[in-house]
A and B are shown apart, each in its own frame.
Chain A
Amino acid sequence: MAEKTAKIEVRNVSKLFGKQQKKALAFIKEGKSKQEILEQTGVAVGVYDVNFDVQPGEIFVIMGLSGSGKSTLLRMLNRLIEPTSGEIYIDGVDLVKMKDEELRDLRRKKISMVFQRFALLPHRTVLQNAAYGLEIQGMEESERKSKAQQALELVGLKGWEDSFPDELSGGMQQRVGLARALANDPDVLLMDEAFSALDPLIRKDMQDELLALQSTMEKTIIFITHDLDEALRIGDRIALMKDGKIVQLGTPEEILMNPSNAYVERFVEDIDLSRVLTAAHVMVRPETMGIDKGPRVALQLMRDRGISSIYIVDRKKLLLGVVTAQDASRAIEKGLVLQDILISDVPTVPLDRLLTDLFDLVANTSVPVAVIDEEGRIKGVLIRGAILGALAGNKDAISLDEATSTKREVG
């Protein structure tokens, strides 16, 4: 990570609310708790000494319960809230030192925001809402209309341009909010609990859509949520906040598997693992054999390893099919070659398929399900025992390294 230039660098950023800030800062340095400081100085510590980098094209999730300071932190990234101290660099320029005009320009062109309760202007049509950011830049009407139109099409709202926000469902309203943010073509998207006000099914759709959009847009997204499921689903990395501080920062897997302290552990203990773990986490090493070998070799290999079927690959390791022990011995009797007994109709799943979507498939097939990468190379197989072991929280059944590295490829 370190070798790339970070899009956003947050350095020692704090936000205190109240009058006796110097005294409070001294107390913080002494290590007093948020509660003690509030009682003794009347100063509320919103965010304290937060540091992180966000890479270009990354979805960086800031997660925490209400009052953890996550919304305050997000609003400091476009200075809707002024930091008390610290520096925030965007493309290497310190945002905190910017003059009003520079800041306005930054907000117009580089950073857009999506709001929790959509925050659409009720007196404007969908199209006018989506064009708001362009309008205040002074863009000509025809140009901003066509750009806003494009943004609306991107989020699937073609045909709704002339409706008013109150005629739309919550999910659609937030699409307008997203379109408004995208219309400026910003580098950075700040999303403040953007999907929290939506019902669970719509929320999942929106998450998928955001990921799909992100795969083509490559924006840098800072996403606030209090929902761990959401954080795990969409985050490349997650920062977990408590009492204004980041208590853990890492990939979803790292946070889930190695909670850095009791607080994080409590946070993640209720998570439904089947919605987090993917095929890549639970697959085991596959037994494969080249297609150019004969049925005798296949049978011998299966006997040695104590298995009843073996996967056949070509020289490039592409999966061709599976051969069962029964068929292999039949082939030896009748003098057939491997191609004749190859079952090419093998159930396969991609690496990033969630466990929850695998149960049916695994339960209903006779041969183990193959896990393949994008090129069709076999990466592993799914065995019922391993899946159950992973769900039971048995860490040996979960291969973190593989999953982490493949998630990057996939995502």
Chain B
Amino acid sequence: MGELLPKIPVDRAVESVLDFFLTYFEGFFRLLSKNLASFVELLVSMLNFFPSIVLILLLCALAWYARSWQFALFTGLGLLFIENIGYWKHTMDTVALVLTAVTISIVIGVPIGILSAQRDGVRKVVTPILDFMQTMPAFVYLIPAIFFFGLGVVPGIVASVIFAMPPTIRLTNLGIRQVPADLVEVADAFGSTSKQKLLKVQLPLAMPTIMAGVNQSIMLALSMVVIASMIGAPGLGAEVYRAVTQLKIGSGFEAGLAIVVLAIVLDRFTQNIKKK
């Protein structure tokens, strides 16, 4: 086979594209990296502004308001447990990373989702890109991410965004496409502009589906924290990674448990926003 057809030089092509970007857009990536880092820093210092117990109480109250006393109880006990085993600060680092990644996913993903719902052409281009983002092993783009953004939390965020954004885009697209045809007709028949149609009919009706996408994005971002820690992102993932490499099975399990508790709390919070 190999003798009949010369190998297509995919590897060299990718490398030269990377070189190109590294050479000509270095300043841009540096600026982006700096801004992202300071955003995360700000978030972390905000989360650590309150003593942990105050934040836990606040979250309990919010959980009660948003859902039920059972959920408030779980939130309280779960977070106290994390505090008790000594992973509070790491948890806040992880929360900051996840929230940043998810915010970026929403800010970029929702408009793309809307566009692909409105134009079949956009959807046809976007769908394979999303497949690519979701299935390409993270390790493959982790190293280039270091080239562009250096070590630390920023490449971790970038990797999380790549992995976590697709559900937000897919479900925004789906949610808008699933708005019943006669309601879209109502918007048109009464003379709505496309913006009015989007804001007053399509987005409100698609909101539960979009929120399901955001919820999925949060879960995927959380599942990336250990991988992100390999390139220097701080937080629970780093604790898991360190424990595993040092064969400290017990503390690895502790940090893992903290991730699970965090995941459940975040999941239940975002599952509920739609029902208000």
A interface with B by C-beta (< 8 Å):
78, 80, 103-109, 111-113, 115-117, 119, 121-123, 132-133, 135-137, 180, 184, 190
Contact = CB atoms under 8 A, between A and B. Distances in A.
Secondary structure dominating the interface of B: helix
Given A104-B193, A105-B191, A136-B200, A119 B186 contact: yes
Contacts of B162: none
A190 B182 CA distance: 14
A117 B205 CA distance: 17
Given A122-B205, A123-B204, A184 B183 contact: no
B13 interface: no
Contacts of A116: 182
B9 to A, nearest CB: 42
Contacts of B182: 115-117, 119
Contacts of B180: 119
B185 A115 contact: yes
Instruction: Pick the most buried of A80, A117, A132: most chain B CB atoms within 10 A of its CB.
Output: A132
B192 interface: yes
B190 A112 contact: yes
Question: Size class of B's contact patch?
Answer: 10 to 19
Instruction: Pick the most buried of B185, B186, B200, B205: most chain A CB atoms within 10 A of its CB.
Output: B186
B127 interface: no
A113 B237 CA distance: 57
B188 interface: yes
B45 interface: no
Contacts of B185: 80, 113, 115, 119
Contact of A133 (B191, B201, B204): B191
A137 B192 CA distance: 8
Given A119-B183, A122-B205, A135-B200, A184 B190 contact: yes
B196 interface: yes
Contacts of A135: 200
Interface string B176-204: 00001011011011111100100011001
Q: Which 9 A-B pairs have the closest CB atoms?
A: A107-B191, A108-B191, A119-B182, A113-B189, A133-B190, A104-B191, A119-B186, A123-B204, A136-B192
Instruction: Pick the most buried of A106, A115, A136, A180: most chain B CB atoms within 10 A of its CB.
Output: A136
B196 A136 contact: yes
A128 to B, nearest CB: 10
15 contacts: A78-B189, A80-B185, A80-B188, A104-B191, A107-B190, A108-B190, A109-B191, A111-B189, A113-B189, A119-B182, A136-B191, A136-B196, A136-B200, A137-B191, A184-B190
